[in-house]
Structures are given as structure tokens and as C-alpha cells.
Structure 1
Amino acid sequence: MRNPRADSFGHGIPRQSDGRHEQLPAFEDSGHADPPAAPSPPSNWRSGYRDVLRIGEFRALWLAHALSMTGSYLLNIAVAVLVYQRTDSALATGLTLALTFLPPLIAGPLLSGLADLLPRRRIMIVSDVVRAVLVACISIPGLPVGAIWLLLFCSVLPTIPFGAARAALLTQIAQGERFVAGSTLINLTSQAGTLVGLAAGGAVVALIDARPAVLYNGLTFLASAAIIALWVRPRPAPTARESDRPSLWQVMRDGPRLVLTDARLRTLALLAWLAGCYVIPYGIATPMAAEMGGGAATAGLIMAAPSIGAILGGLPLTRLVSPETRTRLLGPLAVVASLPLVAWVLEPPLWAMVLLLVVSGMAASYQFVANATFVLCAPSVGRGAAFGLVAAGLQVAQGISIAVASFLVEHIGAHLVIASAGAVGALGAAALALPWSRLSPGAVRMMQDGPER
């Protein structure tokens, strides 16, 4: 999922007026809670990317995200190549990439809760620095494969509190539709990165070899940490007074309780986890291409199509459609995201597959809105843990669905597996669309109330 915020401007954050920024006093990472928020300016739902890019702190977060994402792509490719060079084993290489999916499953609820206990800027900086150190250790010559796997696993762990802290911090930096625009811009950057990241990463590894690529990759995380340290101002922890601060165990316990007992958050989480159904063509693109007599190029087209669709759909959905309408459309769009996959039962030609996946990706851009709505509807204290729980659940849903689909492909074929996943996803989305139609008006009101409820 991704993130959005609301309209109240607190002290220590740039106040926006006529497109200019008046700097207010900054807070330190420790100290006292925020003073009363300044009055909210009128909301303009047509605020665009230019508006949010005028905010210096958002530009810093956006650039830090792009660097971290680039580093992640390069790390995955370089380590996979490094392991393959050491073992000459496709299985070992596959296990290397699979390891990157495990940390959110094992430690997601625990580490994401840190974003509700500690200053979020500090969490992001420390996470990047720790990751850079761990990645540098992977490049040590002669390291056993088991040690490489352990370091790779540990290097993914900091991304959990980093993502939760960024999602929560963005609500304090950009409010209202600026938050939605900023959240969408970050998500679109991720989708574009999916299209170019793997290819660029492969080119870098081919140019300088795997071990130097791993070492240089650590520099992207250090650069991300430096950008955040220099251009994002310190703010106190969500609960600044030690006496009021919950324990990590309480945050871990209350995060799932918050999501499961709040009808809006629960429905949004389930809508997000439906991605486990329509991600399957991406996960089994290689065997599906083989069934069609194609190769890597065919698989690449299949894998790229959903991201192309998400970019094409996300831009108009978040910029041209009013908040009330796009929030209400979450249910129908979730249905459409899975429904095109049912056509796989007809074994369509490649051009039709790509077109259907682009349509699916366009509808799946509802995730941008769902992500923003979830973050803004969650209370400030508990937002990090709740976001981390749903993000971890999304990873688990995608990982399990791809694993199950990969197993079933061996028995019933890729086309039937994808058609079945589309049917399950469409039915699940339809079951959620009706209750969401009743909940969406209240969600819009909560989004407009402000991020620091």
C-alpha cells in the first residue's frame, strides 16, 4: 500500500500560502509534544504534483525513496549474480531472491511499531545507515553463501520501519490533496522503477561485476540517509512524554486490533490484499511464456504490462477525479483489477494478454487511493504499526499466492491458474465493494479532518 494525509498544518512544518512557504520553528527529535495546530487552509482537491513538489521536505522524502528503491533493485540483482557465481545453482539463486520476501512476514508487525514510539525522521536515517553497513558486509570476499543469505535477510529488515516511518511522516509534511498527490507521486515512482530498475540494475552489474555493485549499492542508502538528515526537519515522537509512551509490545498488540476492529481500516486492508490475486501473472510470467513458446522477451512484456497500466490509470484517477468519487470507486475498481484475468481461460494471444494486463493495472491503481485513505483514516498514534501490518500482509498475500500458483502451474497449466485467480479476486472484491460503498463517505470526512487525530 501507499500513503496520503489531511489538511491541518502544525507548527514546525512549512505553512503554504499562495504557493510560497513560510518556515516555522522546527522541533528537535526529543522534547515536548507539538503545540496546537494552526488553522487549516482551504482544501483544493485539484492540487497537483507541482504543488507538493514545492515542499522541500517532500522533495527530500521523494528523492530518498527513489534512491532506496534503486538500491534495492541493484542489491537484489547483484546478490543473486554473486550467489550464482559462487554456486552455479539456479535453486540457490532463487532462494536468494525469495529471502527478500521473508522479513515483512517475520518482523513486519514488530519493527513497523517503532514508527509509533520513536521520532520518525531518526528511524529513517538509522534504517538507511544500518542497511548500508549490512550491504557493505555482503561484498566481503570469500564470504560463505550462508553468511550472504543472513546478511541479505538482515539488510531487508530496516526497510520495514523505514517505510512505516515515511508513511506516517508524510502526513505531517503534506496535508490534504497535497498528501494524496505526494503519495501518488511516490507510488508512480515505484511503478516506473519497476520498469527500468531491473534492466538498469542488470546493466550495472554487467559493467562493474557483482561484488563492486553490492559495495556501491550501499552508497545509495547512505545518500538517502544524508538527504533526510539535511532536508527533513526533526519532530518529536508521536507520544513525546515518556509517561504516555506505550511499550513495543502494546504497539504490536494494538496495531492488529486497530485494523481489525475499525470497519474502514479493515475493508481497506482487505482491498489492498486482493493484489495477491492479480499479481499472479507477474509471478508466473516465465512458465506462462514457456507455455506459449516464448522466452525472456515474452515474460518481460507480461511483467511490464501491469506497471504500465498502473501509471496510465493512477495519473487521471488521483488528479482528475474528486476525492469523494475516487474513494467511492475503490470497490468497483478492485473488481475490474481482477476481472480481465478470467479471460485467460480462452488462452488469448500475447497482444491480448498484454492489453488485458494493462487494463488490470489501470484499475489496480485504486491501490494508490486505498493506501492514502488508509493512512489518513488511521489515528496518528498507531498509524505506523497499522500501516506496517497491512504492508506486511500485502507482501505475504503476494508471496503465498505466487508460491501456490507456481505449484498449480505444474498440474493444471498457467492459463487456468490465472483465470481462477481472476475469478477469486473479482468475487472477493465484489464482496467488499458493497460494505465499502457505505463506509466511503465517512472515510472522506475523516481524511478531511486532519492527520493528527
Structure 2
Amino acid sequence: MGDRAGSAPPKGVRRVLGSIVVDGRPLRIPAFRRLWVSSLVTAVGSQLTAVAVPKQVYDITGSSGYVGLTGAFGLVPLLVFGIWGGAIADTVDRRKLLFVTNIGIAVTAGLLWAQAFLDIGSVWLVLGLLAVNQAFFAVNMPTRQAVVARVVPERLLPSASALTGTMTTFGAVFGPLAAGALLPVVGLAALYLVDTLALAVVVWAVWRLPPLPPLSGQVRRAGLRDVVDGFRYLATQKILLASFVVDIIAMVAGMPRALFPEMAERTFGDPPGGGLALGWLYAAIPAGAMLLSLTSGWVSRVSRQGVAVVVAIGVWGLAVAGFGLSSSLWLAVVCLAVAGAADMVSAIYRMAILQTAATDEMRGRTQGVFTVVVAGGPRVADLTHGWAAAGVGTAAAATGGGVLVIVLVVLAMVLLPAFWRYRAPTAD
């Protein structure tokens, strides 16, 4: 009796834990589990490169304005290939497309390592390789998300989004911290090398996924007409369009990451070669997101998903404004962590809304637009924040952006009240 009582918590405790701890039911689905594990391997490595590129640009130029250019060079491929890549994902075997694009990402990561190892010192070479890398990424991401919606039941999509966020943010937390610790010891080139090796592992894992051809059984080449059809479809989905608008507001006006290299040195005292402050700044937003995702057992119980998104974006803006006003590193980290938790809430419900509303034959294209918004918005922010900081300083750029988020999201709800009223479909 004593052994049995000690081996399992009471039902009341299990019920409370189930409403807090991340819901692991989607991991019981073999295809989702394999996709999730394949991404976990590279979670840290990809973040090493995410730190290394802006840091290398800043080291070469000494300018946050040039760091902001990383946003422009990442944005253009996302705009072009994100939309087109979503159309391709609707017309071919999605497993094969993931395989090809992961190879492309791995090759460009290897070339980034080579130019850093050889100390070429060309900012335009770094930016050019970043652009090619992001082109492959832009096709890969909508494909990956379309696969999730294919293999996971509708009722578990919020939980699947939370699990994906847990994996992504795990790497986004520990990758920057590792980068900050490794930079003074092994140098910048080693960060690119670790990412390259991790990507080689994920190429193998993706190949082991089951075939995922179109449900119609017709594999064909995607053309301009497929892209146009996707936009026509989205034009009829007002709630989806509203979800894109509020996320663009949050990311373009409020993402301050282009300011991190300069603030790490000039505000928080890092040495010129890089240090722990830089790692903490890059890690703080995903750390907050990871903590939220680990305690996300409640997400499938929230029906007013529009309200949840809007409130979360308001908290994001307030926390970013607090970050801009911080003179203490640890206060800045706390503010960014709160922002990250709020962004994760927004992301979970925006993804659930998108995956629920779109049909499978259009899911790749809608995910392509989602990728452009989610990944492209911060890159526009890199450009605008970098240039704003060059003119008015980093503190004013960050604080002003956070305040602007709050103002614009309130205005958006005045103009788009249907999104505020949106509720998740009831289960059958």
C-alpha cells in the first residue's frame, strides 16, 4: 500500500499538474515525435549562428546600422521564398522538401564557418551567405509547420505548438549563453562550425520521416498561379489576416535584438570581443518563452484565443519598453524574459488559429505567409531599430518601440473587433 501510494500522486495533484505542465500527448504520435526530435538536435546550433552573424558584422564595422542590415538581407529571401515555398509544400512530398532545404541550410552554415575561419573580413560576404541561408529557411519553415498540422489532431494543435516552442526556446536560451561563454575562448568561427555539424544530423533525421505527399496524390510543380490562389484564399479569411496584422505590430515595432551587440558593450560593460552580457541579452526572450511553454498545460482550455493574443502582445510592448529604460543587466534580462513569455502565448494561439482555419491543400501557402510575418517582422525591426539607434540611441529606440506596440495594437482592435471576439471552435 505504502509503495503504491508513493509511486503515483493523488488524482487532485495530477489534475493540477496537468493544468500547468506542458501537454505531452502530441509526442505519442510517431511522426510528430520524429519531427520534434529532429529539430531538437539543431536548436542550440542554429542559435549560435544567430548570435555569430550580427556579432561578426558589428566586429567588422563597429556600427549598429550595419547590424540592422542583417534584417534587410534576411527579409528579402523570406518575402520571396516564404510565399513560394509554401506553394511548393502544397504540391510535393513534404518530407523530400524538408530534406533538400535542410541540406541547403547546412551548406550555407558551412560556408559561413569557412569565411570566418579564413578571416576574410568582408561584411558583404557575410550578408550574402545569410541571404542564401534564409532563402532555404523560408522554404523549410512553412513545410515543417504544414507537416505538424497534417499529423496532429486539431484538438491537440495548441499543445503541439507549445511543445515545438519548448524545443525552439530551449536552443534559443542555451545557444546564446553558450555563444557568450565560447566567444572569448574558441572564437567566432567555432560557433558556425557547431551549427554546421548539428545540421548534418538533422538532415539524416528528416530523411527518416514517413513520406508526406499531397492528399490528392498529385505531385506537381508549383507555379505563380498557386501563389496567387493562396493570396485569394487568405483574402477570405479575415481572422487570419487580423492575426498577421497584430503580430507584425509586435515584431516590427517591438523587437530590439539589433541593439543587443551595442548595448552589451556600451550599456552593460562587455569587453569588445564579446562576453556574457551579449549571451544573456540574446537568451532572455527565449528563456521567458521556454518557461511559459513548460507550464503551458492550460493552453488548450482557453477558448477566447483572440483576447489571449491581444493581451499577450500588450504585455510584450510593456516589457520591451521596460527593457529600454533598464540600466542594470539583470533588470533588462527580466524585462526581456517577460516579453518572451508573452510572445510565446501569442505564438501558441496564432498558430492554433492558423492551423485550425486552413485546409490541408492551402496549409503550406498560409504557413508560408505566416513564416514571412513571424520571421520577416523581426528582420524589419533589425533594420528600423538599428537605424533608429544610430540616430537617437539604443535606449530611446527600444523604449519607443515598446510604447508604439501598445498604441498600435489598441488601434488595431478598434478597427478589427472581430479578432478580439474570436473563440476557438468547439470540439465535436
TM over 0.5: yes
Of the candidates 345, 349, 369, which is equivalent to residue 389 of structure 1? 369
2:374 is the alignment partner of 1:402: no
Correspondence for 2:106: 132
Q: TM-score, normalised by structure 2?
A: 0.77
Counterparts in 2 of 1:53 and 1:269: CA distance versus 1, 3 Å: same
2:260 is the alignment partner of 1:285: yes
Secondary structure of 2:361's counterpart equals coil
- Structure 1 residue 297, shift from structure 2 partner: 4.3
- Structure 1 residue 275, shift from structure 2 partner: 2.9
Tell whether the 8 Å contact from 2:67 to 2:382 is kept in structure 1 after alignment. no
Correspondence for 2:338: 359
CA RMSD, Structure 1 to Structure 2 (Å): 3.9
Secondary structure of 1:234's counterpart equals coil
Measure the CA separation in 1 of the matches of 2:112 and 2:316: 39
Correspondence for 1:23: none
2:145 is the alignment partner of 1:167: yes
Measure the CA separation in 1 of the matches of 2:100 and 2:74: 20
Give the number of aligned pairs: 400
Secondary structure of 2:269's counterpart equals coil
Correspondence for 2:411: 431
Secondary structure of 1:124's counterpart equals helix
Measure the CA separation in 2 of the matches of 1:89 and 1:382: 43
Counterparts in 2 of 1:247 and 1:448: CA distance versus 1, 3 Å: farther
Pairwise mapping of residues 180-329 of structure 1 onto structure 2 (< 5 A)?
A: 180-201=158-179, 214=192, 217-230=195-208, 232-241=209-218, 247-277=222-252, 279-288=254-263, 292=267, 294-295=269-270, 296-317=275-296, 319=298, 322-329=301-308
Correspondence for 2:8: none
Correspondence for 2:39: 65
- Structure 1 residue 349, shift from structure 2 partner: 5.0
Q: Aligned partner of 2:403: which letter?
A: A
Measure the CA separation in 2 of the matches of 1:81 and 1:281: 15
Counterparts in 2 of 1:131 and 1:310: CA distance versus 1, 3 Å: closer
Q: Aligned partner of 1:236: which letter?
A: P
Correspondence for 1:156: 134
Measure the CA separation in 2 of the matches of 1:293 and 1:139: 28
- Structure 1 residue 393, shift from structure 2 partner: 2.6
Gaps of 5+ in 1: 1-43
- Structure 1 residue 444, shift from structure 2 partner: 1.4
2:27 is the alignment partner of 1:53: yes
Counterparts in 2 of 1:81 and 1:272: CA distance versus 1, 3 Å: closer
2:90 is the alignment partner of 1:121: no
Q: Aligned partner of 2:390: which letter?
A: E
Tell whether the 8 Å contact from 2:268 to 2:328 is kept in structure 1 after alignment. no
Q: For 1:147-195, what per-residue CA distance to the aligned partner results, in whole angstroms no more than 9, with x for missing partners? A: 6654553233222222111111111211134322222111122222112
Counterparts in 2 of 1:70 and 1:430: CA distance versus 1, 3 Å: same
Correspondence for 1:418: 398
Counterparts in 2 of 1:430 and 1:170: CA distance versus 1, 3 Å: same
Q: For 1:330-362, what per-residue CA distance to the aligned partner results, in whole angstroms no more than 9, with x for missing partners? A: 222222221244456866655544433333332
Gaps of 5+ in 2: 1-17
Q: For 1:266-316, what per-residue CA distance to the aligned partner results, in whole angstroms no more than 9, with x for missing partners? A: 011112223325643333134445564633544544443322322333444
Measure the CA separation in 2 of the matches of 1:300 and 1:127: 28
Comparing both structures, which one devotes a greater share of its residues to helix? 2
Measure the CA separation in 2 of the matches of 1:186 and 1:226: 20
Secondary structure of 1:240's counterpart equals coil
Tell whether the 8 Å contact from 2:157 to 2:355 is kept in structure 1 after alignment. no
- Structure 1 residue 97, shift from structure 2 partner: 5.3
- Structure 1 residue 214, shift from structure 2 partner: 4.8
Counterparts in 2 of 1:292 and 1:133: CA distance versus 1, 3 Å: closer
Measure the CA separation in 1 of the matches of 2:94 and 2:44: 22
Counterparts in 2 of 1:199 and 1:377: CA distance versus 1, 3 Å: same
Counterparts in 2 of 1:346 and 1:54: CA distance versus 1, 3 Å: closer
Q: Aligned partner of 1:333: which letter?
A: A
Correspondence for 1:34: none
Q: Aligned partner of 2:243: which letter?
A: L
Q: For 1:248-273, what per-residue CA distance to the aligned partner results, in whole angstroms no more than 9, with x for missing partners? A: 21222233333344211101111222
- Structure 1 residue 128, shift from structure 2 partner: 1.6
Q: State, as a whole percentage, how many aligned pairs show the same letter.
A: 19
Correspondence for 2:85: 111
Measure the CA separation in 1 of the matches of 2:263 and 2:143: 38
2:151 is the alignment partner of 1:176: no
Q: TM-score, normalised by structure 1?
A: 0.73
Secondary structure of 1:382's counterpart equals helix
